[in-house]
Amino acid sequence: MLFEDQLHRTIELNEVPKRIVSLIPSQSEYLWDLGLKKELVGISKFCIHPKEMFESVQRIGGTKNIDIQRIISLQPDIIIGNKEENVKEQIEELSKHFPVWMSDVNTIDEAYDMMLKLGELCGKKKESENMLSEIITGMNEISNLFGGKRVAYFIWNDPYMVAASDTFIDSIMKECDIINHFKDRTRYPEITVSDLNGANYCFLSSEPFPFEQKHIKELEGTVKNCQFVLVDGEMFSWYGSHLRQLPNYLKKLKKQLS
């Protein structure tokens, strides 16, 4: 059986994989939630959800410092990674030993595509379709939630960095009718406080930099008519089954905003 990944690479599998190594947190969670608990034999140290998976499946290093020898010892039928989060040279080395399926997710539609393709590859086509239907229904409920408010989404401190266009975070913002204050920039640019003028809200994310209340205190009053809010970074950046939690989270977040 031939399968194409999101980098348009083709891999061949003789049967539905029985031993899976997943290198990316959101994808590991998704595979687990599809019912592939016995098949998952290796995950990264950042694959913390759900707790049962994190505690029971062998960890094979971080997303950017994979323990290749440990993965080889697990003898997986398939390895599942991601273009942005994994290191190209490590993926190329793993590809010498095993089939490697790579995702490339920068939009909600690409997340949906990833879910369907992995569902088919792993013998869970119907389950993936059902989950996707549930997610799309939830996303439709929040399509006008924020009414075109301008938001700057912080991902890093010292220097300040934000999520701009061509990112999955930006795509999620569009889904709930948020205007990205930095939509005219790309990826993850450095910014200054003066760049925030005109934003209605600044969301300070819990990851990759763990913003806290003290960082809000440092920024409060620096931008006229702007509210600074701590947000759960997983909700804006994890794709897959984690998206089922997003609508309720955003509805609660909206109630926090003045």
Residue ranges of domains in the chain: 2-138, 149-256
pLDDT of the residue at 51: 96
Among the residue ranges 11-20, 67-76, 88-97, 217-226, the one predicted with the least confidence is 217-226
- In angstroms, the Cα distances linking 119 to 100, 138, 192 are 15, 20, 42
Provide mean pLDDT across the span 173-201: 97
pLDDT of the residue at 258: 72
* Residue 233 to residue 169: CA distance in whole angstroms: 9
Confidence of residue 53 (pLDDT cuts 50, 70, 90): very high
Tell me the backbone φ, ψ of residue 244, rounded to 5 degrees.
-65, -25
pLDDT of the residue at 182: 98
> Is 189 within 8 Å of 164 (Cβ atoms)?
yes
The CATH fold assigned to 149-256 is Rossmann fold (3.40.50)
Provide mean pLDDT across the span 175-179: 97
CA neighbor of 246 nearest in space, from 35, 15, 26: 26
Provide mean pLDDT across the span 66-77: 97
* pTM across the whole model: 0.94
pLDDT in tens, 203-257: 999 999 999 999 999 998 899 999 999 999 999 999 999 999 999 999 999 999 9
**Hey, do 2-138 and 149-256 end up sharing a CATH topology, with the first three levels equal?**
yes
Tell me yes or no: is domain 2-138 CATH 3.40.50.720. Answer: no
CA neighbor of 16 nearest in space, from 119, 129, 132: 119
Burial of 244 (0-12, 13-18, 19+ CB in 10 A): middle
Mean pLDDT of the chain: 97
